[in-house]
């Protein structure tokens, strides 16, 4: 699947496919090492989620979100936050919150790797089904849960 670099989650990687800039800017990014065909990993997030630091081989480059939106990568698996999900079946990839949040989810039978079924997503307020129970998360919480789409 091809997505912009800015949609990567921390720790994820992809293969650079194309850069959609005007020629001179594009050439500069390429000279800095953003070369199509290379593997790129999102390694550091900043306090506001922008800019982002990516790693290509042994080289770390800071890119602002504006520019990252115009660089496209191919990812084998797309990981998104629950907040961005559309109805469908997902697997829990990572829970970003603290210990208490994780404990709480554990009690609901939601741990890394469990399968959930998103029923609807109303501007970030997500209802989902786990083990035949229906749960609803607010925007703040669904942001902290990363999921992987399962193909059905």
Partner 1 sequence: MKNKKIILILIGSLSLLMAFLNIKYDSFIFISYITVSLIAFIGLWEDIKNIWYHKSAHIIVGGIVSLLIGAYELLKYLFGWLAVYTSEGNIPEFKIFIYLFSLLMLIILIQEINYLKKTGENK
Partner 2 sequence: MTFEIAIIGNPNVGKTSIFNIITGSRQYIANWPGVTVEKKVGSFKYKGHHFKLVDLPGIYTLSAQSDDEKVARDYLINESPDAVVVVADSLNLERSMYLLMQILEMNLPAVLAINSIDEAQSKGKIINPSFISKTLNIPVVLTSAKKLIGIDILLESIHKVAEKKSIPVRNFIYTESINSFIEHFSNKLEEYDFLKSYDKRWLALYYLEFGSKNFHYPETLIEDINSQFDINKLKSEFMNWKFSFISSIIKSSVIEKGRSWAMRDILDHVMTHKVLGLLIYVVALYFVFSLTFNIASPLSDLIDIGFNYLGNFFNGKIPIPWLNSLIVDGIIGGVGGVLIFIPQLFVLFFFMGFLEESGYLPRAAFLVDKLVRKFGLSGRSFMSIILGFGCSVPAIMSTKTIANKKERMALILSIPFASCSARLPVYIILISAFFDKNAATILLFVYISSILLVLLSAKILQIFFIKGEEVPFTIELPRFRMPTFRNLALYSWNRGKHFLEKAGGIILIATIFIWLLSYFPNNNDISHSYAAYIGKFFEPITLHLGWNWQTNISLIFGAVAKEVVASSYMTILNVGQEGITYALQDILTQRSALALIFFVLAYIPCFATLSVIRQETNSWKWLFFELFYTLTIAYLIANFVYLIGGIFL
Cβ at position 11, least distance to partner 1 in Å: 3
Give the helix, strand, coil percentages of the chain, each rounded to 5: 20, 45, 35
CA distance 39 to 17: 10
Cβ at position 150, least distance to partner 2 in Å: 30
Cβ at position 44, least distance to partner 2 in Å: 5
CA distance 57 to 64: 20
User: Of 1, 2, 17, 35, which lies in the binding site for partner 2, with binding defined by CB under 8 A?
Assistant: 35
Does residue 10 belong to the site contacting partner 1 (CB under 8 A)?
A: yes
Q: Dump strand ranges (E) for 5-132.
A: 13-19, 39-45, 52-56, 59-63, 71-74, 79-81, 88-95, 115-122, 125-130
Cβ at position 10, least distance to partner 1 in Å: 6
Does residue 44 belong to the site contacting partner 2 (CB under 8 A)?
A: yes
CA distance 57 to 28: 18
Helix (H, G, I), strand (E, B) or coil at 31: helix
CA distance 149 to 152: 9
> Which partner from the list partner 2, partner 1, none does 47 bind, CB cut-off 5 to 8 Å by kind?
partner 2
Does residue 98 belong to the site contacting partner 2 (CB under 8 A)?
A: no
Q: Which is nearer to partner 1, 30 or 94 (CB)?
A: 94
Contact residues for partner 2 (CB under 8 A)? 23-25, 27-33, 35-37, 44-48, 50-51, 53, 57-64, 66-67
Contact residues for partner 1 (CB under 8 A)? 10-12, 93-96, 98-99, 102, 112
């Amino acid at each position: 699947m091809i997505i912009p670099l800015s949609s990567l989650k921390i720790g994820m990687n992809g293969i650079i496919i194309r850069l959609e800039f005007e020629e001179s800017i594009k050439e500069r990014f390429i000279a800095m090492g953003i070369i199509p065909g290379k593997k790129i990993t999102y390694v550091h997030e900043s306090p506001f989620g922008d800019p982002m630091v990516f790693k290509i081989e042994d080289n770390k480059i800071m890119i602002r979100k504006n520019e990252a939106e115009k660089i496209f990568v191919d990812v084998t698996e797309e990981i998104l936050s629950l907040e961005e999900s559309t109805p469908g079946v997902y697997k829990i990839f990572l829970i970003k919150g603290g210990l208490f949040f994780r404990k709480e989810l554990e009690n609901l039978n939601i741990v890394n790797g469990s399968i959930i079924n998103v029923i609807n997503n109303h501007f970030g307020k997500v209802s989902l089904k786990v083990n035949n129970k229906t749960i609803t998360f607010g925007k703040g919480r669904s942001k902290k849960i990363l999921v992987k789409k399962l193909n059905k």
